[in-house]
Amino acid sequence: MNSYRQPGLVLTDHHFSVPLDHADPGGERIEIFGREIVAASKADQELPWLLYLEGGPGFGARRFAGAEAWLGRAVREFRVLLLDQRGTGLSTPANRQTLPLRGGPREQADYLAHFRADSIVRDCEFIRPQLTGGAPWTVLGQSFGGFCAVRYLSAAPEGLSTVLITGGLPSLDAHADDVYRAAYPRIERKVAAHYARYPQDVERAREITAHLAEHRPESAGHRLTPEGFQSLGILLGGGSGSHQLHYLLENAFVRTPHGTELSDTFQEAMRTATSFAGHPLYALMHEAIYGQDGRPTDWAAERVRAEFPQFDAVKALEGDGPVLFTGESIHPWHFDVDPALRPLRETAGLLAARTDWAPLYDPERLAANEVPVAAAVYHDDMYVDTAHALRTAAAIRGLRTWVTDEFEHDGVRAGGPRVLDRLLAVVRDEV
């Protein structure tokens, strides 16, 4: 273990060897990384543990510089473990560079089938006794981390003392089609709100879309397309996302000796915002997190999008309507335009066709839950459907919700210590 300091904090790096397939404990193993953080003034004290599960899928745990966001509140009473879920961060990586070690696309898809919430929770339970001596811990799950927390409540509630969920109550039974059928109208509302705030962006977005449709430029091997441009709407799910999107659009064009062109600044910003180089598992596994009932996900976001023709950017240019941005959705074309995903296109197709996904949640066990649970539900959350979340909340015995429109999906980060402080108060019946 390697320990070091940041202002007011002591950090310790942990590396754990866990089975790739927990049903085969004697088989292949992978490495899981976790970063322990404790207040320097309490480093020698016996403290309860809080496990943080990041959103995603496919993102490593956040790298904090000091006691930022919710972390400062957490270390007042907890020893915190920031877990890089399998395949992310410093845990055995899964990407275009490493997956060929598994073999061809079929072998890669079979390997990645072990990278859903069920396996992540088994990792947590494998690790917990090594850190806590067997004591249960508090879990804070953000977004997909909340999905993992609900799986934890379904599969191993004995490992939990408290569960705190922020923007991450999944539907217990919705197919991916249902998720996206609910998502597109929600995304359209977010886009309408953005254009109401920045009406000048309506024409600018049309101009950018028309330029991309005609020229199809590339930036560092990343093909910039109208569909890729629309996917910048993922920014609208964050508290400052509308402003970020506006500033990105405002310097899209530059005059050159050859006429008006997309600026290098804009092209680089678009490439950076839409690249999956840092989180390829998000693209590979995003729809698989909804697979439970024997049906393939089968590129659900792409298929369901056809039910909402207003999202067709090229057709929007034929009329005078706005170009609608999209959001948290993955499409086959992602694996054509992004060099970080291009070698994994066939693997992604095999995952989309897979029919043997096991159920993730146990409604009977959740209905009998005895673990204290509190969940922040962000009203009209762009990424997680509020109606789905509230139905799940009602299905988990004892769960208390805090429904708020003060924050967007990133409230646990953007709200500093307030969101965690509120959830702890809720779960402790202090409010």
Q: Show which residues are catalytic.
A: 143, 356, 409
**Token match 């977004």: residue?**
143
State how far the Cα of 76 lies from the Cα of 41, in Å rounded to an integer: 10
- CA dist 281 and 207 (Å) reads 32
Backbone angles phi, psi at 264, to 5 degrees: -60, -35
Q: How many CB atoms lie within 10 A of CB 16?
A: 17
Give me the count of residues in the chain.
Answer: 431
**Partner residues linked to 106 by β-bridges:** none
Contact 57, 118 (CB under 8 A): no
DSSP of 263-282: -HHHHHHHHHHH--TT-HHH
List C-alpha distances in Å: 9 to 4, 6, 78, 113. 9, 5, 12, 37
Tell me how many degrees the CA angle 104-352-212 measures, rounded to the nearest 5. Answer: 95
Nearest-CA neighbor of 209 among 325, 309, 336? 325
| Radius of gyration of the chain measured on its C-alpha atoms | 22
Q: Would you give the distance in Å from CA 133 to the centre of its chain?
A: 30
Is 299:332 a contact under the CB 8 Å cutoff? yes
Burial letters for 378-410: b for 16+ Cβ neighbours within 10 Å, e otherwise? Answer: beebbbbbbebbeebbebbeebebbeeeebbbb
What is the amino acid identity at position 208? I
